[in-house]
Amino acid sequence: MNRLILFLVLAFIVGIVVGTTYDLQMNFVMGATVVACGLAIIGIWRTWRYNAGVLFCVFLCLGMVWTGLAVSAVNSPVTAFQGKNIQIVGEVQDRPDIRPDGVFYKLGLLRMTAEGTTREMTGVLRVKVVGAKGPVYHYGDILQMKGLLTLPEPPGNPGAFDYRAWLQRQGIAATLSVKDTKEIKLVGRSGNPIIRIAYTIRDHLEQIFDHTMTKIGASVIKGILFGTRGEIPADVQLAFNESGLVHILSVSGYHVGLVTALVLAVLRLLRLPRRFTAWVAIPVLLFYALMTGMGPAVMRATLMAILLLIANHLGRMQDWPTTLAAAAGIILIFNPLDLFDVGFQLSFLATWGLLYITPKLNSLLPRVPVSLALLISVPFAAQLATWPLVVLYFNLISPVSILANLLTTHLVVLIMLFGGMGLLGGLIYLPLAGFINTATDLLTRLFLWLVQASTSLPGAAWYIPAPSLGLVIFYYVLLVGLVELTKQPEWRAQLRNWLDEAIKPAARTKWGLGCCVFLLLAATWLLWPVKHQLELHFIDVGQGDSTLIITPGEHTLLVDAGGWQDELITGKGAGNYTVVPYLHRLGINSLDVLVITHPHADHAGGARAVLKSLPVKLVVLSPYGFGAGDKVDEGYDILLQEMKQQGLVYRTAAGGDQLKVDPLVTIRFLSPTAAYHHTRSDANNSSLVFRLDYLRRSVLFTGDIEEEAEKNLVQSNILSQTEVLKVPHHGSGYFYPEFFERVKPKIAVISAGAGNRFGHPAPKTLEKLKELGSRIYRTDQQGAVILTTDGTTWQVKTGK
């Protein structure tokens, strides 16, 4: 059988997919595996004609068994103590991940003390030590520490990053939060000495960059050479993402290829006999992979390089599909869950594109010099191969990526060359490294300038909704079909002959007009709004509020943007990590209106990130916060100042005002007529309250109003029955009973954080809504609440 390894690895991958998709009984699967193996042995002995099918079944069953074992190995008895403070002793299993907000460790458990009992314990935890101050521990260190054990909840918003699934792929059972480095004590050292040496060398090499380059330059060169990304500023990482250059910060085939080429060049200069080349180069590549953390992408590239070196040494034919499949098989044997790692998928697809599509693209450029043709075809082939998955996972299209890769490819090689020379110089004499890295720093600055310039071009990057899995599969079938078609000799002539036979010359004009009409209708259908529905997305932002409104005419309004504690000051939190990604997943690249109901961080904090990430035509604010004695959350003035600096149009609203963004939708503000003062919470009571009407459907948004504002609304006789109510103040117990009775909502949506310290929603609020017959939806229990209507009925979906 040709390419047997490819065939068997594909069967193994199918088994992994089946094993993770369905809840299979391990006894049944292992029994089926034994039967399949027995049939395979008999088939090979008797030379059955159906051996290929039997072998496929064997490796499919092995994939299911291996996946089940990998999942069960992650589970640990320690998860029974979720939500409790425990003391543990464990061994650091990887390099520390140092970030501005803390240090993360991967810790293998040895012992645990909880509820006065100490016991031996197995499993792996991800430990976060809050704050960047204090000693940093390293691979092999045995630590004793106290902290809060947690198991992350599944994501509350559709398509959001699944932290629990990511931990499982890393073999991690739960997380432990340690408040201070004082809670950690070093009690011993262990670990593999080779890995410890590799990490120690890497740490020493990174320190050379820290001592001889600027902070930003050092962070980028460490990302290029070693894949260290925790120190790179968030805005720089975003620029790399949107320019299509993020692969440069992840050690992959590009880096391993350069290291391999450098090693082979040095060995050739040393005139080492060819029969020894592979056996010298392979340990160097393995050591480099070890230093960079042995992620799926670097392991793929390293294994392929090793297999090709061995094939060359043995004089065997180098078949890239077999080599690529063998590399995937080896990685998946060690961890079958790596199949679902985005880096694994993108790395293998990019390599497939380079090896499969690039030659065909080069053949379409016969008159272009080979070096120039490769400069164009290589990034284009990688883009064609990975584009659907980039859109599926990141919703990102980056037309500028090919240009960015063309501009920076040779520059990155220079940066790596000078960076490598700086490291060699630093090992001999640190000031020598400083001299060399002056040039490295200049090259790095030029590189960053090119990245920023690429992303500043019009249309450099935009976000679109994630395609369906069926559409992704159709894309790859079509891509392979086109490549295979163009591989046929005289394919143009064959296509022309087929058209001559299929379409008579007299009918060609009609066919041409028909195709033009079809393309025009298809383009109109894609570009013209076709939903004709009102959508309300009550986003799960934890303890806070954020609601996205999409009108039938595809206009967008965001009511509040959530916010974590101090997010108005830091600018980082729910806006960066929840709201902006949610908008991008829906393909929203701009907002017509941002409404900030009142100046509290849990509603306004995320607005800073939103305004930096998306163009906003109009910002509507509460009148509270502009008076001399108004008490707002710290940092609200920073938000207002940034809006002025960006030249944004912002207005305050009051009861009686109207907002018109769609002909079919009416938005009327009901409160406040003026800012409240001398109430229990003036800022909350001064929240913007507005009613949205679309045909026969109605929604009431209430911000955080409390009893006083609710009473005024009732007494002013401007309230009427409303179908959907965004329950005031996260379901707080400070409410005016007649308010709910007057509104009498059919659907009540409460935005609150799970286990919040305020006790929201209050039991008496829930009881009142149930008494009125309202259907209650809560973001703390059901995740995002998504309501859609065509003007007749409501459809409800939740994120969990």
CA gap 772, 245 in Å, rounded: 55
Q: What is the pLDDT of residue 180?
A: 85
Contact status, residue 752 vs residue 781, Cβ threshold 8 Å: no
Torsion (CA) 377, 382, 383, 385 in degrees, nearest 10: 120
Give 96's contacts (C-beta < 8 A, 6+ positions apart): 103, 104, 105, 136, 137, 138
* CA dist 772 → 672, 741, 781, 785, 787 (Å): 26, 7, 21, 20, 20
Domain assignments of the chain as residue spans, ordered by start? 4-74, 77-191, 198-463, 488-527, 534-798
Cross-strand pairs, 289 = none
Q: Which helix (H) or strand (E) holds 146?
A: strand 141-150
* CATH code linked to domain 534-798: 3.60.15.10
Q: Is cis: bond before 672, omega within 30 of 0?
A: yes
DSSP-derived secondary structure letter, 560: -
260 CB-side CA count, 13 A: 21
Work out whether strand 174-178 and strand 124-130 pair parallel, antiparallel, or are unpaired: parallel
C-alpha closest to that of 770 among 740, 739, 793, 798:
740
pLDDT tens-digit profile of 84-114? 999 999 999 998 988 877 899 999 999 999 8
DSSP strands (E only) in 663-782:
665-671, 689-694, 697-701, 724-726, 747-750, 775-778
* Alpha carbon separation from 537 to 104, 541, 557, 781, 785 (Å, rounded): 33, 11, 10, 16, 6
Residue 495 pLDDT: 57
Distance (Å, whole) CA 166 – CA 154 = 11
Encode 731-766: b = buried (16+ Cβ within 10 Å), e = exposed.
bbbbbbeebbebbbbebbbbbbbeeeeeebbbeebb
Q: What is the DSSP letter of 576?
A: I
Indicate the residue type of 467. Answer: P
CA pair distance 104, 94, nearest whole angstrom: 10
DSSP state of 47: T
How much is the pTM?
0.86
Say how far residue 197 (Cα) sits from the centre of its chain. 32
Residue with tokens 């591989």: 487
Kindly give the pairing relationship between strand 775-778 and strand 747-750: parallel
Tell me what pLDDT residue 529 has: 47
pLDDT tens sequence across 415-452: 988 998 999 899 999 999 999 999 999 999 999 999 99
77-191 and 534-798 have identical folds: no
What whole-number distance in Å separates Cα of residue 122 and Cα of residue 112?
9
Going by C-beta distance under 8 Å and a sequence separation of 6 or more, which residues neighbour residue 113? Answer: 86, 87, 88, 119
**Low-confidence stretches of the chain (pLDDT beneath 70):** 1-2, 48-49, 132, 316-317, 488-531
Name the class of domain 77-191.
Answer: mainly beta
- Which helix (H) or strand (E) segment holds residue 19: the answer is helix 4-21
CA 341 → CA 175, 337, 716, distances in Å?
19, 7, 57
Burial of 117 (0-12, 13-18, 19+ CB in 10 A): exposed
d(CA 639, CA 633): 11
DSSP 605: T
Residue 363 amino acid letter: S
Q: Which residues contact 551 (CB under 8 A, 6 or more apart)?
A: 534, 557, 661, 662, 664, 665, 694
Measure the CA–CA gap between 443 and 164, rounded to whole angstroms. Answer: 39
Characterize 324-338 residue by residue with b for buried, 16 or more Cβ atoms within 10 angstroms of its Cβ, and e for exposed: bbbbbbebbeebbbb
CA 240 to chain centre: 14
CB 633 within 8 A of CB 599: yes
